Structure formats: C-alpha cells, structure tokens
Structure 1
Amino acid sequence: PDSMVDHDHIIPNDGSASIVEGTYAQFVVGTPGAGKSTYCAGMSEFMQVLKRKCIVVNLDPANDHLSYDCAVDIRDLIRLEDVMSMPDDATHDAVALGPNGALLYCMEYLEQNIDWLKDALLPYKGQWILFDCAGQVELYTSHSSMKNIFRTISDEWQWRTACVHLVDIAHCLDAAKFISALLLCLTAIVHLELPHINVLSKVDQLKQLGRLPLGLQFYTEVLDLEHLLELLHNDSRIGRLESLNRAICQLIEEFSMVKFTPLKIENKRSVFNVMQQIDRAT
C-alpha cells in the first residue's frame, strides 16, 4: 500500500504522543539494507499522523533513491560520485577514491561545513528531525566525523537526541551473524556515546525467512548467550573458534547494554512502541 500507517485505526493519543517542545533528533544508523530509509519514511508519516511535526534529513551522499520527502539533503552540499571523480590538485588526475573512501571524505566535509547543515535546519527548529545515515559501519564504530557531527547537534545545538540502530531480523537466523550484530551495536554505543535504541527491523518478514532457532524473545532480550555458543559448537565451519566466540559473548554479557525492540514498520502498534522507547531515551 502507498501509506504505511492505517489512518482510520490510529492509536489514541495518550499524552506521550503530543507535540513536544524543543528540537528532537533521531540518528538512524545500521548496515546497508537494514531498512533505514524505510524506517524514516514510516516513522515520519506516523509522527505526522500524531500531530508531531517531523522532517527527514538524508545524510547518505550515495542515496539516489529516497523513499520519502527529503527536507534537507547532503547531496546539495556534496555528492559521492563527484568526490570519486575529483582531480588531484597536483596532477589533475582522478584521485581514484573508492566508494568507502569517498564516503568518509563526504562525512569529513560535512563535519567541516556543519554550519551548512545548521542553516538548512533552522526553519525546522522545534520539530522532530530524522537523520537517515549512510550504512558503512566504520562511520559509527571507529571514524570520528559522524561522532563529532552528532556531538555538535547534541551538545552545542542542545537538541534532544538518540541513536536508532537497525539490525535486520535475518541476522537472528545465524548465530555467528547475530553475535557479530551484538558486537557491532555495543561498539557503536561505546563509540558514539549517545542514548541508543537498538531495533530488530523487518520482523514482518519472519514468515518468509523461517523459524528463529531460539524464539524472538531470546533475541530481543539478549538472554543467556550460552545457547548461541551451543549452536556454533554444532557448526563444523567455525567450531574451532569456540574460545573466541565465548570471549566475545562474555564481553557482551558483561556490558549488558544491548537489547532490541522488534519492529514491523507497517504495524502501527509496533511503530508506536519504538517511538515510546525513543521518547524515554530523549
């Protein structure tokens, strides 16, 4: 359907869905294909139905196919394809940056020109701002530019912010992939130093994907990870890495910072639940 929200059967406003004061921001991150743009489209429409003024900002300079009305677009400042074809100042030959290197360059350029973003967002002060971010994981786990941009928005602009980290539900079908996703989420939490809401996206696709090995609650609550190690022990491909997998799981459990909220983006109650988690965090 064209609309992601059932307008005729919307959840009644219980107070938490009222228009908020100040400016609030969600930094929507996750690996490529996790559903970030779909999330931004669905969440922005849902907020507007609940009378929350909301816009979406595209911070992915390689995203040429937006599924939402974009109020501010980083491609008006810098484009990935332009960076990849930039001439070298000395030789006037192409620098030959690859997609990842060019993306990092774009984020560094945005950091250096943060006033451009501030000016572009001035008309939307007092609204909810959803930042649809690029998917390369190094932006949220090791590189400094996105962290500095987020910190400027949170600290200098004094916006109420949270990071929404999407993880595709398909990762739960493979114990090794889920452990990797847990470690990625934990690393992003530690690196970005922001309130985090970790979301299992595309839960509506479970019927097509098949039954989860340990049930949905295990993955949302991140229960005893020993069960994941048992699944890995039965996998001859990675059984020899048991000690490494155990150490990673122990690290995740010791921090005890990663849990997930399941999301079906076309289900109004599911979207409402995620929105409430974000409200509490901001």
Structure 2
Amino acid sequence: MSKFGVLVMGPAGAGKTTFCSALVNHLKNNRRSCFYINLDPAAEEFVYEPDIDIKELISLSDVMEDLDLGPNGGLIYCFEYLAQNMDFLTEPLGDVGEEYLIIIDMPGQIELYTHIPILPALTKELMGGSLNISMCAAYLMEGTFIVDRAKFFSGTLSAMSCMLMLGMPHVNVLSKMDLVKGTVARKELKRFIQADTDLLDDDPNPAQQLHFEEIGEEVDDPTESEAVMAGTSFAKLNRAVGKLIDDFSLVSFLQLDVKDEDSIGGILSYIDDTIQFHEAQEPKEPKDEDFEEADMDG
C-alpha cells in the first residue's frame, strides 16, 4: 500500500504554517483525508491541531534551557534527537492509508535544507523501508522578493540548493502574492515565475542596476578593492548566479494566495501530480446518501 506526503519547507517568515493550515482546510472542505505533522520544535500556535507534534518528543525551549544552546544549535540538536527516535514518526504513520495526504510542516532555519545532512537522512527514512511514502517538497519563498531582483535570485539559488541537497521532487512556490498584487505587471510577473535571469540586466531601480553591458565578459580581479567599491564584483557575482540558475533550468514558481481557494487548489493539484496521488486511488463505491440525493434530484 502506498502512502503520499508533502514536506512544506522554506526560510523563516515564508508562510509555511499558514500554507499548511490553508491546505488542511481545503482538503477538509473537499472531503479528502489528511494527516498533519508539525516538525518545528519552536511552534506554539496552530489553526489545526497536529496529528503528530515534535514538541511531544522534544522542544526547542527545553533544549536551549537545559543544554545552554542557541536557537540554531538547539534546532539541530532536536533533529538529531528525532533521527535517533524515528519510531516517534514511523509508528503512527504505519496506520495512515493511501487516501491520506501527509502534510509535514518544517521549521524555517534555512541551513537545515542547504548543507546539514540531517534532512536528507530523515526523508530517506520516510520514503524508503516499510513506509514507502511517495513524497515531494513544497519550497516556499516570499513573493515580496520580486521587488528586489538581487534578493529574488538569491532566494531562487537557495531553492535550487535545497533541491540538489534533498534529491527529491520539488514544487517551488511564491507565497504571500496578495501582498504584491498590482506591484508588478502580469507580463513582467511571468519572468519571475520562470526565473528569467535577464531581469538582472534591466532592473528599474537605479540603486540596484548592475550595468552588465558596461562590464563586459572580462572583469579585472573581482577581489581587488577597486572592483568591490565600484560594484563590478557584485555585478559579476550576480551574473554568475544567474547563469548557474539558467544552466540548470530547475527552478520555476507557482503563485500562492492563501485567501484564494483556487490558488490553494491549483498548488494541491501540482503536488498530487508530482507524487502521483490520484493514480493510486481505487474507485470508491457511492454512499447511500449519494443515491438518496440523486433520487431527490431526479
């Protein structure tokens, strides 16, 4: 029997828990089953009570107090402890059926997704063995990043880094799009959705313009103080980052507005396609009440 899940991740403040709550609400409204897991040991408030909460195993506040660790070191300790006690996750997940969507809400410390091997080990455990969860990652990045193009491409590079680190299917999402509605023309917005690196060349903000055409392909040693002060080092770095994103062609984005049911449903359909949820579902017998409604309508 297959199981299906989505790992909701991204930097702090990207709206992961809000998206999880909206996704749970959408599934409930459409009579779909879900299993909600919180793996943020610092999270306190939820719209929907998680079916599994890591704080029942270990909490960040206790770790910081007992071991005198900071928030980042404490978070890493929490996940190392979880890795040593995986039965906390695997045992309750063993009873979850194929009709459920398992939603895993992750913390916002970006280092968990970029260079620490804890998360790849965790996902390998969930996607392999007896659980065999068909899973994808939903990486959220704030839609407000499109206002600053250098910041947008920095975030895009982080998304690509997470994709390469985890080695699992990804759905990349620009969250909080309601906050930037009307800020960017629709035609221009498409260039962000597809991560068009030419955006770096024609930034309308004079303070952020990189003037690549004036730099040329050959730039003097970017470590020289003159190059750094003139901004050419920054420009060359951004061009190299843009080329890297272009060469891989891995990152494109979906738009998320949690206030819009169609937006939630659209992203859910991408998640379902990625994990092949519907292909595994058996046709269901009509319920008695469905027959009664049909008779009344007839």
TM-score range, shorter chain: 0.7 to 0.9
Could you tell me how far apart the structure 2 residues matched to 1:190 and 1:235 are? 32
SS of the equivalent of 1:235 reads: helix
- Which of 159, 180, 183 lines up with 1:185 in the alignment? 159
RMSD: 1.9
Q: Is 1:24–1:129's contact at 8 Å kept on the other side of the alignment?
A: yes
- Residue 66 of structure 1 is matched in structure 2 by 46
- Residue 289 of structure 2 is matched in structure 1 by none
- Which of 171, 190, 200 lines up with 1:228 in the alignment? 200
Could you tell me how far apart the structure 2 residues matched to 1:236 and 1:103 are? 35
Report matched runs for 1:39-118 at 5 Å: 39-86=19-66, 95-118=67-90
What letter matches 2:201 in structure 1? L
Cα distance per residue 1:106-127 (max 9 Å; x no partner):
0111111111111233343332
**Aligned length, in residue pairs:** 251
Could you tell me how far apart the structure 2 residues matched to 1:228 and 1:212 are? 15
TM-score (norm 1): 0.84
TM-score (norm 2): 0.80
Compute the displacement of 1:101 (Å).
Answer: 0.4
Q: Which runs of 5+ in 1 are unaligned?
A: 1-20, 87-94
Compute the displacement of 1:56 (Å).
Answer: 1.2
Cα distance, 1:251–1:73 mapped onto 2, change above 3 Å: same
Q: Which runs of 5+ in 2 are unaligned?
A: 211-230, 276-298
- Which of 242, 245, 257 lines up with 1:252 in the alignment? 245
Q: Is 1:58–1:74's contact at 8 Å kept on the other side of the alignment?
A: yes
- Residue 161 of structure 1 is matched in structure 2 by 135
Cα distance, 1:29–1:255 mapped onto 2, change above 3 Å: same
Could you tell me how far apart the structure 2 residues matched to 1:237 and 1:257 are? 25
Could you tell me how far apart the structure 1 residues matched to 2:134 and 2:28 are? 19
Compute the displacement of 1:227 (Å).
Answer: 2.2
What letter matches 2:111 in structure 1? E
Q: Is 1:140–1:191's contact at 8 Å kept on the other side of the alignment?
A: yes
Could you tell me how far apart the structure 1 residues matched to 2:62 and 2:146 are? 37
Cα distance per residue 1:199-238 (max 9 Å; x no partner):
011111224xx61377221111222x12223329943697
Q: Is 1:175–1:232's contact at 8 Å kept on the other side of the alignment?
A: no
Q: Is 2:2–2:132's contact at 8 Å kept on the other side of the alignment?
A: no
Bigger CA radius of gyration? 2
Could you tell me how far apart the structure 1 residues matched to 2:194 and 2:240 are? 20
- Residue 7 of structure 2 is matched in structure 1 by 27
